[in-house]
Amino acid sequence: MAGTVQVDAVVVGAGMSGLYMVKRLTDMGLDVRAFEVGDNVGGTWYWNRYPGARVDLESFDYSFSFDDGLQQEWNWTERYAAQPEILKYLNHVADRFDLRKHFTFETRVESAAFDENRNLWIIKTSGGETVEAKYFISGAGVLSTPKPPEIEGLDNFRGKWYHTGRWPHEGVDFTGLRVAQIGTGSSGIQVAPVVAEQAKHLTVFQRTPVYCVPTDNYKLTEEMRNTVKAHYTERRETSRHNRYGVPAEFPTIKAFEVSEEDRRQKYEEAWGEKGHLLAFRMTYADVLADEAANKTVADFLGAKIREIVKDPVTAERLVPKTYPFGTKRPCLGIRFYEIFNEDHVDLVSLHETPIERITETGILTSDGTLHEVDVMVFATGYDALTGAILRMDITGRGHRKLRDKWKDGPRAYLGISTNEFPNFFMITGPLSPGPLNNMAVSIEQHVEWVSDCIKYMEKNGFATIEAQEQPEQEWFDHVQEVVGNTLYLKANSWYLGANVPGKPRVFIPYLGGAGTYRATCDEVAKNGYRGFTLEKSKVEA
Ligand code: NA7
């Protein structure tokens, strides 16, 4: 076909997944084209430039482990790196391994259709290009499609508004302005204190309160870095087999097997210097499985909020009461609760006074108050886990649309690949541990599994690999069974698609633990890709 380019593989996205995927495939000698909507590499860290954006796991762990030279030469400056530093790191990775040349930037993959006669994916881009490839791999990200603020009247607002996931590159100066912030998830709790520092007035509109643990961030010294670098191999290995992808042992002791005093001490440590995103989830084995155990954490955190926030009414509004701790993603913040002690910061509980609509000058709540503002910040989250994949028009065998197949929720064997869509792989796809784990570890595991699979196919002359229907259904059932043994279904979280109106309510990430999941994937591969059908070409050349 005139004007059509043929390559071995097309990769979507220039975030951590896309960068490493391209590296692995080109190292194997494959011809790869990669597409990215942004004008540069970085993925999440390219888009999420809002002030205060910061990783909530230690920088040492939220980084690639695949190349020792890379991890030895890179010097993280902060315990929890801020967005500019992570973006710089990902640019360094792109340059160090000369990956940029494989990417076409400012270009979206609009559609991908599998041609059954030729066993090829036909990929069309927003740049008008058509590319044919044997393999089609999505590294489009799990939290990369911002959820539009579905609030009536936004078009009428005369001031400017911003979404944290699409922050202007030139930044925003809030000095002297009255600001409304909607949303108090991970992004909201990070951006609010920075906006509060600049703004004349900040009103935070909170729908569901979060559990926010303070960040014990500090500058890293040469000595600290050298200590980690000297033991990086063991640190990485522990992370790979840990439940959450961090260098720690998952506890076996349950909350009520120790005294109240011991529990309290452990929680103080998790709140303090040992605090990180997963710290409280890793205090006791049953925190996310047993309501009474969970309540000990929730009570501890509630007491901390009441201690910090001076106004008792505001404090009460900030204490989560409607879901167990950890079943919505907990947050790591810097001075989040403290800002509510400042005179120019207010909290509006949308449970008490929901938003009626946005007007030309502000936000009207159900009690008749018009909160007049100059600027609005939407920290309202994402169409998580499936949004970026389904945004592409993907058509498999028999003209089957992925959007139709997933209308009642995603189905994907191991969260990697889906029946009727041969040679299509998803990096940290739905039904894999993905964002319940350290994403850097999840991404490396998937990229390595997928590239090893492709290597196996090429070596053995296979034309297609396709997840079988029954193992795919069994995997889905297993994912749901595992979550059924936890408290996770008691929250309206984005893990369940509950934040997007109309999205099917299905628990999407796999909760069985990242270490166990890795072992399952490895075992499947070792057994000749059990649960997948591999076929030699049906078409004679
Ligand atoms: P999240 O965690 O989905 O948080 C979004 C917040 O916005 C949350 O407080 C929502 O309340 C709130 N929200 C969403 N829609 C509305 C509307 N329509 N009205 C009022 N409030 C709303 O997104 P983040 O960007 O903070 O974090 C996403 C992930 O990125 C994070 O977990 C990290 O992995 C990185 P709700 O809780 O739904 O009631």
Q: Rg for the chain (alpha carbons), in Å?
A: 24
Pocket flag, ligand 1, residue 387 (CB < 6 Å) = no
Q: In which band, very low, low, confident or very high, does the pLDDT at 279 lie, cut at 50, 70 and 90?
A: confident
275 CA distance to ligand 1 middle (Å): 22
Provide the pLDDT for residue 539. Answer: 53
The C-alpha atoms of residue 374 and residue 158 are separated, in whole angstroms, by 8
If you count DSSP H runs as helices and E runs as strands, how many of each does the chain have, helices first? 15, 20
Q: Ligand 1: distance of its center to the CA of 272 in Å?
A: 25
pLDDT in tens, 516-538: 999 999 999 999 999 999 999 86
Chain segment 5-52, per-residue pLDDT in tens: 999 999 999 999 999 999 999 999 999 999 999 999 999 999 999 999
Given a cut of 70, is residue 513 above it in pLDDT? yes
Nearest-CA residue for atom 28 of ligand 1: 381
86, 318, 340 from 344: Cα distances, Å: 32, 17, 8
Q: Is the dihedral of CA 301, 302, 303, 306 positive or negative?
A: positive
What does the pLDDT read at residue 277? 78
Residue 541's pLDDT band (cuts 50, 70, 90): very low
Identify the pLDDT of residue 306: 98
Question: Is the C-alpha dihedral spanning 370, 376, 379, 383 positive or negative?
Answer: positive
Residue 282 in this model has a pLDDT that exceeds 70: yes
d(C-alpha 295, C-alpha 77), whole Å: 36
CA angle 404, 406, 411 (to 5 degrees): 140
| pLDDT (0 to 100) of residue 148 | 78
Q: Which pLDDT belongs to residue 213?
A: 94
* Per-residue model confidence (pLDDT) at position 538: 62
Q: What is the pLDDT of residues 97-133, one digit of tens each?
A: 999 999 999 999 999 999 999 999 999 999 999 999 9
User: DSSP readout, 340-408?
Assistant: GGSTTEEEEETTTS-EEEE-SSEEEETTS-EEE-SEEEE---B-TTTHHHHTSEEE-GGG-BHHHHTTT
Tell me, using a 6 A CB cutoff, whether residue 187 lines ligand 1: yes
Q: What is the pLDDT of residues 243-259, one digit of tens each?
A: 999 998 889 999 999 99
Residue 365 has pLDDT above 90, yes or no: yes
Tokens of 423: 């040679």
Contacts of 103 (CB under 8 A, 6+ apart): 14, 18, 22, 34, 35, 36, 41
pLDDT of residue 311: 98
Average pLDDT, rounded, for the chain: 96
Residues 6+ away with beta carbon under 8 Å from 225: 75, 76
Q: State in Å: Cα 53 to ligand 1 middle.
A: 14
Pocket test for ligand 1, best of 191, 499, 500 (most atoms within 8 A of CB): 499
Tell me if 379 CB under 6 Å of ligand 1.
yes
H helix intervals, 34-129: 44-47, 68-73, 83-96
Buried b (16+ CB within 10 A) or exposed e, 230-259: eebeebbebbbbbbbbbbbeebeeebeeee
Q: What is the mean pLDDT of residues 355-376?
A: 98
Q: Residue 2's pLDDT is what?
A: 47
pLDDT tens per residue across span 482-510? 999 999 999 999 999 999 999 999 999 99
Q: Is 172 in the pocket of ligand 1 (CB under 6 A)?
A: no
Q: What is the mean pLDDT of residues 215-227?
A: 96
Residue having the nearest C-alpha atom to atom 27 of ligand 1: 186
Pocket test for ligand 1, best of 328, 380, 495, 503 (most atoms within 8 A of CB): 380
* Distance between Cα 210 and ligand 1 center (Å): 10
Give pLDDT tens digits for 381-412. 999 999 999 999 999 999 999 999 999 999 99
- Residue 237's nearest CA partner among 90, 79, 61 is 61
**What is the whole-number distance in angstroms between the Cα of residue 290 and the centre of ligand 1?**
25
Cβ of 188 below 6 Å from ligand 1: yes
Least confident of 102-106, 273-277, 363-367, 471-475: 273-277
Question: Mean of the pLDDT values across residues 225-232?
Answer: 98
At 1 the pLDDT is 47
Q: What is the DSSP letter of 249?
A: P
Residue 540: pLDDT over 60? no
Ligand 1 centroid distance, CA of 541 (Å): 52
pLDDT per position as a tens digit, 408-441: 999 999 999 999 999 999 999 999 999 899 999 9
pLDDT exceeds cutoff 80 at 273? no
Task: For residues 427 and 142, give the distance between their C-alpha atoms in angstroms, rounded to a whole number.
Answer: 9
